Amino acid sequence: MTPTLLHQILDYANRADPYPIYEELRKTPVHHETDGAYVISTYYEIRSLLHDPRISSDARNVASGNADPPAESAPEESALPPSFLRLDPPEHDRLRRMTNRHFGPPHSPHRVDGMRPELHDIVGGLIDGLGDPGRIDLVEEFSYPFPVTVICRLLGVPREDEARFHTWADTLAASLDPDPDADPAERGKDAHEARMALGMYLAGLIEERRKNPGDDMLSQLATAKGQDGPMTTMELLSTAALLLIAGHETTVNLISNGMLTLLRHPEVLQRLRTEPRLAVPIVEELLRFEPPVQLLPGRTALADIEVRGVTIPEGSALWLVLASGNRDPQRFENPDRFDPDRPDIQHLGLGSGIHSCFGAPVARLEAQLALAELARRLENPRLLDDPPEYRQNAVLRGPRHLRIACDGIRP
């Protein structure tokens, strides 16, 4: 039996290059899978549905008999209530509004930009600590530890406890990448224990911040008394876990995919070395060209919806293939060409609508600083494996290892 296009996307054999499958998928913009799910692959239709209030992100609305997203697709904490990522208005709007009050404009306009010097120091320290220049695993040694450290600083995790967060993040990230050679029961047990340990640690930290608040984000969330009232402890726990896991995983992919793409386009890497401001359009083009989140499963139609002449029945499961929309020739000229000089890069790499990436400002800044410094400091960097070994996860697609070599590291 020939596998369906969706199953081909999920097949690890196609992880290194899913884009020919996306091209085939776009020939049927509204593709009806045999299991009942509808797969949307074109830019304008995806963007419209991301703004459509008739589309639910709440897993409680998934109708029985429809295709559920794979367990590894969404970084949710099963012991906690759903984060606002998996809620609909008005619950979503309330929790997101409360969280954003302490993260970005208008109430905290300098939160992200004020971290720039600290982020620069973290990047510099990680590059200084790279091992043998002849064999560097950029994921393990740089793009993985960087965002975990940043989130710890943002939340206000004490420096002496950051190593514990790294350990929990390692375990939970592994649970998102199902290893066919690993014992699923053992992996599930490890992930459950990590979730419990993380939850207990965060609960203790929240209680301590309520008694002795600082200027960190967790303190402000724990003591907030705005128009929406305070968050409950369970809401705080699910929000903090979301920021740690979801924000971390996508940024790892953005940096790793970014360096892989630059090494495949040495002329752009050379430009970045001499023009550090080019990092801004480079990151935007990367979010279009190799987005860290490839597709959004787990959406449900709350009513009959017509898309391109096809009626999607109420209760149907929807998969929105962001990475396919980003390569739609109806929206982007020469979509398979990596071009940071491309005008008007209105990509879907960070989603759109009410569920657009909450951590987008800090993810952009992390990637800009990381790629600019790697370009500046690594002498003659080159890939040792191309394609690299990819993670199992089709949704959060990125290299599991990115082995490179360079002639040296500039001070």
pLDDT at 178: 55
- Over residues 35-61, the mean pLDDT reads 94
φ and ψ at 404, to 5 degrees? -130, 165
Residue 182 reports pLDDT greater than 80: no
pLDDT at 180: 55
**How confident is the model over 298-317, as pLDDT tens digits?**
899 999 999 999 999 999 99
**CA 111 to CA 322: how far, in whole Å?**
29
Indicate the number of domains in the chain: 1
- Over residues 254-263, the mean pLDDT reads 98
Question: To the nearest whole percent, how much of the chain has pLDDT over 90?
Answer: 64
On average, the pLDDT of the chain sits at: 89
Q: How confident is the model at residue 400 (pLDDT cuts 50, 70, 90)?
A: very high
- Over residues 105-110, the mean pLDDT reads 82
Give the residue numbers spanning the domain of 25: 5-409
pLDDT at 181: 58
- CATH number for position 112: 1.10.630.10
